[in-house]
Amino acid sequence: MKFVDQVRVEMKAGDGGNGAVAFRREKYVDKGGPSGGDGGKGGSIYLHADSQLTTLLDYRFNQHQRAQNGGHGLGSDCNGKDGEDLHLKVPVGTLVLDDETGEQLADLSEAEQTFVVCKGGQGGLGNINFATSTRQTPRFAQDGKPGEKKTITLELKLLADVGLIGFPNAGKSTLISRISRARPKVADYPFTTLVPNLGVVQYKDRLSFVVADIPGLVEGASDGVGLGHQFLRHVERCRVLVHLVDLSAVTEGRVPLADFDVINEELEKYSPTLASKPQIVVANKVDLPHAREALAGFQKSLARRKLTALPLSGATGEGLGPVLDAVAKVVFAQKSAPAPRLKSRAKVKPQLIAEPAVAAKRAMGSKRKPSSSKARRPAAKARGARP
């Protein structure tokens, strides 16, 4: 399936129906008066975040979306029918941007979140509404209002906790397929991964986090080299980046520290915020002899910058524990504490708010108890809600 993560869509809500100009004409009813009904409301366009969807592919070939117009008002006091609303589904993590201004209109980051993109136009009033004592035959009615029209850009940003970054062939897909059930293609040529993949990692104590494997970056990605920066938006929301450095590349004359710097420069060019995200540096492929030899040197050069590199072999699983622990430490430290949930309404102790008059009487020492059932009701409510 094609991965579509950005699409421009023209949206038009339904226009409101026009109000009608009509007069009652009946046998024996002379000058029956105005009877033009109102126009119906135009349909609105809603976007719903759906956890079942993973891409914006549906919109690639449906770039014009229209909701139904409202029906026009009719004679005999008949109102026009409201236009049907249009409900569109988008994947969770979709940003809704105004195409012209680039302004963010909505961020649908939670399942079932809803956003009204375009409101339907109001229906016009029929002439029946304009009859007064001095104007008994209004020969005019109101036109319906046009529905909102917008061109928007839908942009998908995957919701992953951890983003895997590094050069092509660094072993990102190998790592995600080892720690999760994601099975992206693994091969020894660059740009094997062309679209981001997500995997859920089951960590200890039933804790889990989502990892995104994104296509490799190369020097000049900001100028469109390789696949460019286009997929970096998918790690913008991550809590932590795992930066894989391929130590075996020393056999090709590459220097691990230089590789590390190139990727960081590309991150910086894309977004300084992304570059300042917590990073766990992983020295990968240590199962290979050349890589193992290069490890100490790489770690030393990072230590000079007060950074550490965790050795790993995505292929054999060596060093996986400490890497996952380091990731989990950042992910779960940052994950906000679970929102306090009310187990039952009983926990909320309602306070009896006395009406000002009652409060004043009480203050004056009035001993008369409220006798009416109305006055007793709040107290009864409070009792009912007690645990």
User: Which is nearer to Mg ion, 68 or 173 (by Cβ)?
Assistant: 173
List residues bridging with 203 in a β-sheet. none
Print the binding letters for residues 204-223 with ligand GTP: x by CB under 6 A, - otherwise.
-----------xx-------
Closest approach, Cβ 240 to Mg ion, in A, equals: 19
| Residue pair 43/13 in contact by the 8 Å Cβ criterion | yes
Q: What does each C-alpha distance from 378 to 325, 345, 358, 372, 386 come to in angstroms?
A: 54, 16, 13, 12, 13
According to DSSP, residue 262 is labeled H
Count interface residues toward Mg ion (CB under 5 A). 3
Pairing of strands 162-166, 114-118: unpaired
List residues bridging with 197 in a β-sheet. 213
314 near ligand GTP, judged by CB under 6 A: yes
Handedness of CA 255, 256, 262, 265 (dihedral sign): negative
Closest approach, Cβ 208 to ligand GTP, in A, equals: 22
Region near Mg ion per CB under 5 A, out of 15-23, 189-197, 246-254, 319-327: 189-197
Closest approach, Cβ 213 to ligand GTP, in A, equals: 6
Which one of residues 18, 69, 142, 169 is an interface residue with ligand GTP (CB under 6 A)?
Answer: 169
Region near Mg ion per CB under 5 A, out of 3-11, 25-33, 171-179, 285-293: 171-179
Type and span of the H or E element at 28: none
User: Which is nearer to Mg ion, 180 or 193 (by Cβ)?
Assistant: 193
192 near Mg ion, judged by CB under 5 A: yes
The Cα–Cα gap between 313 and 102 comes to 43
According to DSSP, residue 277 is labeled S
Q: Which does 168 bind (CB under 5 to 8 A by kind): Mg ion, ligand GTP, none?
A: ligand GTP
Residue closest to 236 by CA, chosen among 218, 259, 212: 212
Residues near Mg ion (CB under 5 A) are: 173, 192-193
List contacts with ligand GTP (CB under 6 A).
Answer: 166, 168-174, 186-188, 190-193, 215-216, 284-285, 287-288, 313-315
